[in-house]
Amino acid sequence: MRKLLLGLPVLVFAIFAGLAFVGMQRDDPDGLPSTATGQSAPMVQLQQLEGHVPFAESDLTGGGVKLVNFWASWCAPCRAEHPKLVELSEKGIPVYGVNYKDDPAKARAFLADLGNPYTLGGADPDAKMALDWGVYGLPETFILGPNGTVILRVTGPLTERNMATRVLPALAEAGLSFP
């Protein structure tokens, strides 16, 4: 019995190491799977954010490729990714903003300080829309195809690395190309 108890930690470690190894064999170990990928964009439930026009589900299904970005003024990674959103917007990609559980005055000040990359945007003060979209932390960005189908979910800030390895290839797959 004593030998069995002494071998138990080794067995537990081996099981943990095996599970970790299997988990790292995913195609994209940095990405979180989304049930929305390949599906129509989830429901849009926005409130007015003063000075901004909220978007509706119909805005996501017509026309070309677009991004939906969940952000907040209190979110430091949102501030870090903001220049990438501005850059994408300046390249003609519509970026739709969802201000998540934020103070409206602080959200307006955030955009006044850093620039407003959002074609349309609104507030999600109760996180109802974020819940439908499967958002668990900020920032999160969804790339939608021309018909409103979710192509890619990016958790965390848009960085040089994930722009090069995930976002730009997804945009190219959707029919956009960049010099």
- Number of structural domains (the chain) is 1
**What is the identity of the amino acid at 110?**
F
CATH number, domain containing residue 162: 3.40.30.10
Residue 127, CA distances (Å) to 1, 51, 70 in order = 53, 20, 10
Answer yes or no: is 134 within a domain: yes
> What is the pLDDT at residue 116?
96
Q: Which of 106-145 are b and which e, b meaning 16 or more Cβ less than 10 Å from the residue's Cβ?
A: ebbebbeeeebbbbbbbbbeeeebbeebbbeebbbbbbbb
- 60 belongs to a structural domain: yes
pLDDT at position 145: 92
Q: What is the pLDDT of residues 154-164, one digit of tens each?
A: 999 999 999 99
Q: Considering the domain boundaries, does residue 145 fall inside one? A: yes
The predicted model scores a pTM of 0.81
Convert the pLDDT of each residue in 87-114 to its tens digit.
999 999 999 999 999 999 999 999 999 9
- pLDDT band of residue 40 (cuts 50, 70, 90) is confident
Give just the sign of the alpha carbon dihedral 112, 168, 153, 143.
positive
17 occurs within a structural domain: no
The whole-number pLDDT of residue 70 equals 98
Whether residue 18 lies inside any domain: the answer is no
CB 174 within 8 A of CB 65: yes
- pLDDT attached to residue 76: 97
| Segment 109-134 mean pLDDT | 96
Determine the Cα–Cα distance for residues 161 and 163; give it in Å rounded to an integer: 5
Residue 6: inside a domain, yes or no?
no
Residue 138 maps to a domain: yes
* Tens-place pLDDT, residues 45-90: 999 998 889 999 999 998 889 999 999 999 999 999 999 999 999 9
In a domain, 12, yes or no: no
What is the domain range of residue 89?
32-173
The full DSSP string for 58-105 is HHHHSSS-EEEEEE-TT-HHHHHHHHHHHHHHHTT--EEEEEES--HH
Report residue 100 as tokens.
């998540």
Q: CB within 8 A of 172, min separation 6: which ones?
A: 178
Rounded Cα gap, residues 125 and 110, in angstroms: 16
